[in-house]
Amino acid sequence: MPRISEIEDDGGDPILKPIFDKQRELFGGVLNPAKVMAHCPPILRAAQQLGLAIDQSGQLPKSLPPLIYLRVASINGCPF
């Protein structure tokens, strides 16, 4: 049982709705980290903006982030 409940529905929240809709479009569902951070929508939005800024910074080769994500998921024992 998770220690923090996951929020499955955006409830019409103006911050959560576009984030949840986009994740459903891209991944077929809302990712678990977003469901947990949805308890505080401004933090979820900020976390997504940080990830986007890192991706767009040009500091990492475009092919590297997916490999990093896969390695971190593997280290954490998460199926990816």
| Span 50-79, pLDDT tens digits | 989 988 898 988 888 889 889 998 999 887
pTM above 0.85, yes or no: no
Condensed to tens digits (0 to 9), the pLDDT of residues 14-26 reads: 999 999 999 999 8
DSSP 6-59: PP---TT-TTHHHHHHHHHHHHSS--HHHHHHTTSHHHHHHHHHHHHHHHHSSS
pLDDT in the model for residue 55: 84
How long a stretch of residues is the chain?
Answer: 80
Q: Where are the domains of the chain?
A: 16-75
Q: How far apart are CA 71 and CA 73, in angstroms?
A: 5
